[in-house]
Amino acid sequence: MIPKWLLTTLKTILVAVIVYFALRSLPLRAVDLVAFLKRADYRFYLSMVLFAVFLMLQASIWVLIVNTVHVKDVESDNRTKLGLLSGLRIFIDSQFAKYIPGGIWNYAGRVVLATRAGVSLAAQFAAILYENILLVSAALSYALLLAMDLGVTPSPILLSIMLAVAACGYVYYARMTSWISRVVGGASRWKWMKKLLDRITKSDEAVPNRDSAYTLTRNQFFGYLACFLGSHFVMGIAFWMLTASFDAGHISVLYAAGTFATAWLLGLLSPLPGGLGLREGFLVYFLSMKLGTSAALQISIIARLWNMMAEVTFWALIQSVSRLARRVRGYES
């Protein structure tokens, strides 16, 4: 068991590292940042709050997927089910680790915290795998809508491609499920990871890993895909409001959603944290077609600050609600 003082020290170092890399990713000086926040109008702050709602929706869908793929014993059903508030807290507490170079630390943190909450490794790996497949699928859908808007390819051809991909996914879903089951089963049996998690989480009980059961049905998968498509539309509205706050021109909500989703998707190719550089570059490319290069540059720079502010808002809200819930339980007891 790791000593308490060492855990506290490691947590402090981790927070300091996250803050350091997060601030480094901001292409703004402190003076410029404060000046912008002072002159930003209500639309900027309203769009930031809406983007925080989008992040909460993403986290809520992850919680639903975890609880769906997590097979529970009858006797321990209430103990192992991940509550919505606990799940949201796990999601956002680990989300800030994405700013550390490597691209895996937010997922590593999520695994540690979810294991401490009693969720098995197999369920977590399956949920993370499904989450990323669904996220990429939703982003690709909006990217195709953006391509239609730009006239890159005739709309009938793009619609045919979308329908063909959806049909293939539906028909060959059983094969994909089988592959996911094998990946999850292999990863969940890594002994070194189990031992490490036992030491970090101080877990005395082994949560059973029945990897063959940790899959979504076809209807569940496409249902969650619809949820991600809906949450991405909320994201599109938030980004559309952000661009409108610059008073540099007008773009549609679908164009905004497609731009942000496509930039996020292409940013996955960047080796830097959060798709740094590549993501901003594609934001400038797509936005400049409608709003001009100068406005596109400003929006791409502010978008990262806007994203961070939404994450902090999400985190602050969840922390406040969690503390309030603990006080209420204390009074009731």
pLDDT-based confidence at residue 147 (cuts at 50, 70, 90) = confident
User: Which of 115-124, 189-198, 227-236, 291-300 holds the top average pLDDT?
Assistant: 227-236
**Tell me, what's the pLDDT at 79?**
47
**Tell me, what's the pLDDT at 56?**
96
**pLDDT, tens digit, 9 for 90 and up, residues 13-24:** 878 887 777 777
Q: Is the pLDDT of residue 188 over 70?
A: no
**Tell me, what's the pLDDT at 333?**
64
Compute CA distances 122 → 32, 108, 322, whole Å: 46, 14, 27
**Tell me, what's the pLDDT at 260?**
94
Answer yes or no: are the C-beta atoms of 169 and 176 closer than 8 Å.
yes
**Tell me, what's the pLDDT at 84?**
92
**pLDDT, tens digit, 9 for 90 and up, residues 151-173:** 777 777 877 877 887 888 878 78
- Backbone φ and ψ for 112, nearest 5 degrees, come out as -60, -50
**CB-based burial, 125-162: b 16+ in 10 Å, e otherwise:** bbbbbbbebbbbbbbebbbbbbbbbeeeeeeeeeeeee
**Tell me, what's the pLDDT at 150?**
84
pLDDT-based confidence at residue 272 (cuts at 50, 70, 90) = low
**pLDDT, tens digit, 9 for 90 and up, residues 52-68:** 999 999 999 999 999 98
Q: Is the pLDDT of residue 275 over 60?
A: no
Q: Is the pLDDT of residue 212 over 60?
A: no
Q: Is the pLDDT of residue 179 over 90?
A: no
Higher confidence at residue 243 or residue 97? 243
**Tell me, what's the pLDDT at 77?**
46
How does the average pLDDT of the chain come out, rounded?
81
Q: Is the pLDDT of residue 282 over 80?
A: yes
pLDDT-based confidence at residue 194 (cuts at 50, 70, 90) = low
pTM of the entire structure? 0.83
* Residues 121, 269: Cα–Cα separation, whole Å: 27
Q: Is the pLDDT of residue 202 over 70?
A: no
Q: Is the pLDDT of residue 89 over 90?
A: yes
**Tell me, what's the pLDDT at 197?**
53
Q: Is the pLDDT of residue 137 over 80?
A: yes
**pLDDT, tens digit, 9 for 90 and up, residues 213-261:** 567 888 899 999 999 999 999 999 999 999 999 988 889 999 999 999 9
